[in-house]
């Protein structure tokens, strides 16, 4: 089996089997992966990382080497957070059953979670993954609108089920978009009027759907456009876009799987920075700090028709352990002031990156909010995917874990656990400047 990473595999930072400088143990593990897990799995890095332990912002290999994690947003309150682990273990030792029996845990968590949302968003449904949450949102949007048309951004990622994969252009040409899906450019912060441009693009997609006899059902956006390259600003673009899809009878979904749960610093959810009210909000990755729990928050009128026609049961979704674990995560975010830390450390970190960008031409645009930052890697001002890959792998050699993203694959994606400190940021900036000094 051969594959061409340049065309069929658009994933930045994917390991190419046979390359890299793996030791004998890791070489054997790669071979076992290929023979056991098959060809659709990908490892990160030119030389993949072998991990055995995590603690806070640090991950460890079998030799005890510590890697600074500046990438993993799942372990959002820190790897192996003791409070989350014991909440999970305690509930698992007590009861782990589902939502067809009465249990207080799922209700207490739903109340606590919904307390973080503006008033009209008062219902929540639980799934196990962000993919399932977005997939459910599609089903609900079809029932509520009677339409099927979906609008996404040009390098969006919304998940891996059949229905959301066909709304995820970032999966590449090997995964075709659905005939009812239109992809529009992500907002361009350098446009004269980014909000007007983005709303016009949404409107053009609506017009094109209608011209094809397809009724628009859903505008689905990651509220920071993570996989498009992270466009956190300006925060004026979502409200007019949401108004446009609503005028056409469709709904607006805020995909908060990446920005949500305080990462933005200024707000719990990315949509709040835009002063827009979504019809539905999907949640995932950091919700259980690694435990598979996700959800969809809704305005009640949106779910009325789906609830009339269908029932929804997700065997593991919202089970007692998921609720207890997610509750502990929310408590840690609140009690340890992690949203505030994201704001403060993120601002300092971003300033440091901006300062480096003045000294090194390889660093182009610096973007981001809170603890979700991006640095474009360029050569002569142009996107340089290969150079970004060199940098990502050089940082890995310096024991800093990161990856690249964006349509051009040239954007460093900096998205550490929210317990990331100013010292951690300083460490990252120091190593990065060392590497840039070598002329990479």
Instruction: Say whether the peptide bond before residue 234 is cis (omega within 30 degrees of 0).
Output: yes
Q: How far is the CB of 295 from a copy of itself (least distance, A)?
A: 10
CB nearer a copy of itself, residue 238 or residue 326:
326
Contact by Cβ (8 Å): 86, 324: no
| CB of 82 or CB of 118, closer to a copy of itself | 82
- Element containing residue 252 per DSSP (H, E): strand 251-255
Q: How far is the CB of 336 from a copy of itself (least distance, A)?
A: 18
Dihedrals phi, psi of 373, to nearest 5 degrees: -125, 155
Give me the least distance between CB of 119 and a copy of itself, in Å please: 13
- Judged on CB neighbours under 10 Å (0-12, 13-18, 19+), 325 is buried
Work out how close the CB of 317 gets to a copy of itself at its nearest, in angstroms, rounded to a whole number.
8
Give whichever of 97 and 379 is closer to a copy of itself, judged by the CB atom.
Answer: 97
Cα(103)–Cα(379) distance, integer angstroms: 57
DSSP 8-state secondary structure symbol assigned to residue 274:
T
How far is 174 from 282, CA to CA, in rounded Å? Answer: 26
DSSP 291-309: BS-EEEEE-HHHHHHHHHH
For a copy of itself, which is the closer residue by CB, 192 or 309? 309
Q: How far is the CB of 3 from a copy of itself (least distance, A)?
A: 6
Under DSSP, the state recorded for 281 is E
CA distance 150 to 437: 45
Q: How far apart are CA 385 and CA 410, in angstroms?
A: 4
The two structure tokens encoding residue 391: 């940098």
Q: How many CB atoms lie within 10 A of CB 174?
A: 10
CB of 352 vs a copy of itself, minimal distance in Å: 26
Residue 260 CB, nearest distance to a copy of itself (Å)? 14
371: closest CA among 355, 354, 349, 351?
A: 349
Dist CA 227 CA 225 (whole Å): 6
114/347 with CB nearer a copy of itself: 114
Measured from the CB of residue 293, what is the shortest distance to a copy of itself in angstroms?
8
User: Residue 140 or residue 238: which is nearer to a copy of itself going by CB?
Assistant: 140
Six-digit token string for 277: 């009210």
Taking the least distance from each CB to a copy of itself, the nearer of 84 and 353 is 84
CB of 15 to a copy of itself, least distance (A): 9
DSSP for 311-347, written as a single string: ----SSTT-HHHHHHHHHHHHHHHHTTHHHHHHHHHH
Nearer to a copy of itself, 278 or 352 (CB): 278
Alpha-carbon distances, residue 184 vs 220, 424, 434 (angstroms): 11, 37, 38
Nearer to a copy of itself, 31 or 196 (CB): 31
């Amino acid at each position: 089996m051969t594959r061409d990473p340049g065309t069929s595999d658009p994933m930045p930072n994917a390991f190419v089997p046979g390359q890299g400088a793996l030791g004998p143990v890791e070489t054997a593990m790669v071979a076992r992966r290929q023979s056991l897990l098959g060809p659709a799995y990908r490892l990160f890095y030119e030389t993949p990382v072998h991990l055995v332990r995590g603690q806070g912002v640090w991950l460890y290999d079998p030799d005890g080497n510590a890697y600074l994690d500046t990438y993993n947003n799942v372990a959002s309150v820190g790897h192996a957070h003791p409070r989350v682990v014991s909440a999970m273990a305690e509930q698992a030792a007590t009861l782990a059953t589902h939502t067809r029996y009465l249990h207080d845990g799922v209700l207490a968590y739903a109340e606590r979670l919904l307390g973080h949302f503006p008033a009209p968003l008062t219902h929540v449904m639980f799934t196990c993954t962000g993919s399932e949450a977005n997939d459910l949102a599609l089903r609900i949007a079809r029932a509520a609108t009677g339409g099927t048309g979906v609008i996404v951004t040009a390098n969006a990622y919304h998940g891996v089920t059949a229905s959301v994969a066909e709304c995820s252009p970032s999966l590449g040409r090997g995964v075709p978009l659905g005939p009812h899906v239109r992809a529009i450019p992500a907002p361009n912060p350098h446009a004269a009027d980014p909000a007007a441009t983005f709303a016009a693009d949404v409107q053009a997609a609506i017009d094109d759907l209608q011209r094809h006899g397809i009724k628009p059902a859903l505008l689905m956006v990651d509220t920071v456009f993570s996989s498009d390259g992270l466009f956190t600003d300006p925060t004026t673009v979502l409200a007019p876009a949401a108004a446009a899809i609503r005028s056409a009878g469709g709904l607006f979904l805020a995909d908060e799987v990446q920005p949500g749960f305080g990462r933005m610093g200024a707000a719990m959810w990315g949509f709040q920075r835009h002063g827009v009210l979504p019809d539905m909000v999907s949640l995932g990755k950091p919700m259980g700090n690694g435990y598979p729990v996700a959800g969809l928050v809704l305005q009640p009128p949106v779910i009325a028709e789906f609830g009339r026609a269908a029932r929804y049961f997700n065997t593991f979704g919202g089970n007692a352990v998921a609720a207890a674990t997610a509750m502990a995560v929310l408590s840690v975010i609140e009690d340890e002031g992690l949203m505030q830390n994201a704001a403060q450390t993120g601002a300092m970190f971003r300033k440091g990156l901006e300062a480096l960008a003045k000294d090194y031409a390889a660093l182009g645009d610096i973007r981001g909010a809170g603890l979700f930052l991006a640095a474009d890697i360029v050569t002569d001002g142009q996107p340089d995917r290969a150079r970004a890959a060199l940098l990502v792998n050089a940082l890995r050699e310096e024991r800093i874990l990161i990856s690249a993203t964006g349509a051009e694959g040239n954007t460093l994606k900096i998205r550490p656990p929210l317990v990331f400190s100013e010292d951690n940021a300083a460490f990252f900036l120091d190593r990065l400047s060392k590497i840039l000094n070598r002329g990479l």
